[in-house]
Structure 1
């Protein structure tokens, strides 16, 4: 059918709608790569830190245990620990941990310690106590330990010292303990 006369017809070219499969896909941002590398690094670092902390804790425990465990394994060791506790640290409670229970044969050693303290106060100095030459004579479950004790101080710029030999009797029960101390 022709168009009526006098009318204007505008022609629009025919357009065909392309099928959807032929249409270009919508532009979408590229998917972000998961941060697996960062996650892996953090996991490894956390694992290493955990292992180091655990190892440090175990080592710390054993070092602490070894440092705080009393060593009464031999007559010489128990005498050394007793002298350190009694004469150097002047710690009666700790020295009792190295001595025989119910034994009070330490009167001479107590007088020596009191004399050292009195000299320190009188001369305004510090008395240093050291020991050497442990000679151990074992007899079954007991032992005599002979030790040379040295007492030194500096008074008015002059170093003075005194050396005395002492004999300590030790006994073996569950472990070694000091039971008496006498000069000579």
Structure 2
């Protein structure tokens, strides 16, 4: 009886560990997935630690500056922007690198009027051992 109980405990522990690893590991399975996840962590959750999980080297200065400008603008307008990531297009540049273009739409109600701004971005991503990572990003004019 003790042997069966021990096996159940070990099996439960292994199952718990596997399920935890799946839930805790960020999805970096494709270029578009990693870019959208990075942007959601940066602009929606505003979680730098989460955003770093999707990058090659940490925060991207151009994206970080844009987020800081957005936060300042929210304070000035006394509004909170709703962020949507739209029109995601992937162009494979090699087997292990790609360019991803997206539109980041900021929407808010200001003075009782719904307003929206859209900015086009281009990101360079590479496939590393643990999956795809965002290495650079620039806002397109």
TM-score range, shorter chain: 0.7 to 0.9
* 1:128 match: 82
Q: String of CA shifts for 1:79-108, please: whole Å, max 9, x gaps.
A: 011001111111111111100026x6x222
- Structure 1: unaligned runs, 5 residues or longer: 1-55
Is 1:109 matched up with 2:63? yes
CA displacement at 1:155 relative to structure 2: 1.0
- For the residue of structure 2 that corresponds to 1:126, the secondary structure is coil
* 1:16 match: none
**1:15-54 map, 5 Å:** none
* 1:36 match: none
1:63 and 1:160 map into 2 onto residues whose CA distance is 42
Structure-2 change in CA distance of 1:173 and 1:126 (3 Å): same
From 115, 127, 136, give the equivalent of 1:172: 127
* 1:29 match: none
- Structure 2: unaligned runs, 5 residues or longer: 1-11
Is 1:119 matched up with 2:60? no
Is 1:79 matched up with 2:35? yes
Is 1:161 matched up with 2:120? no
Structure-2 change in CA distance of 1:57 and 1:152 (3 Å): farther
- For the residue of structure 2 that corresponds to 1:120, the secondary structure is helix
- For the residue of structure 1 that corresponds to 2:35, the secondary structure is helix
CA displacement at 1:65 relative to structure 2: 4.1
Report the TM-score, using the length of structure 1 for normalisation: 0.63
Report the TM-score, using the length of structure 2 for normalisation: 0.80
Give the structure with the higher percent strand: 2
* 1:97 match: 53
* 1:150 match: 105
